[in-house]
Amino acid sequence: MPVIARDSQATFKRLRLPDAAATAALARRVAKVAKPGDVIALKGELGSGKTFFARAFIGEEDVPSPTFTLVQIYDRPQSRIWHFDLYRLDAPDQAIELGIEEAFASGISLIEWPERLGRLMPPDRLEIALGFAPAPEAREALITGTGRWAPLVEAIAG
């Protein structure tokens, strides 16, 4: 059963994603409401499904993980989508060289390993923390919305 909690600045919802199809469906729901200037932070251990989520959000199965390129850009009718994988960053300021300020200003930013941004991470964002569950394809998700995302968390979670 999903759990919803609110504080003065954020809305949280925990849910279980029983299989990959449920994770993809969550990503598509987020994509439907995302707009330029939005930041979607994807957290989780290696292999927890961050890149899988990004593929479903972007709408392509052959989306490469930007682990080595650090950023992949996709032009879509609604906006440019910037997919960042910051696992290999040594310092938050290195993200500036990747165009993260432009992404924040005018695109939709999907960010894997957002904790690597430190102080550069915008406070208004949707954060999705994916964790492993007992079944092989199942995941636990903690969705946190701040700013414009706070009132959308319940609808996104389904």
The 10s digit of each residue's pLDDT in 26-52 is 999 999 999 999 999 999 999 899 999
Q: State which residues of the chain have pLDDT below 70.
A: 1-8, 64, 66-68
| Structure confidence at residue 155 (pLDDT) | 93
Query: So what's the pLDDT on residue 8?
Result: 52
pLDDT in tens, 132-147: 999 888 999 999 999 9
Domain boundaries of the chain, sorted by first residue: 37-126
pLDDT value, residue 76: 87
- pTM of the predicted structure, to 2 decimals: 0.90
Q: In CATH, what number does 37-126 get?
A: 3.40.50.300
pLDDT of residue 67: 66
CA distances from 148 to 32, 90, 118, 128, 153 (A): 14, 30, 21, 15, 10
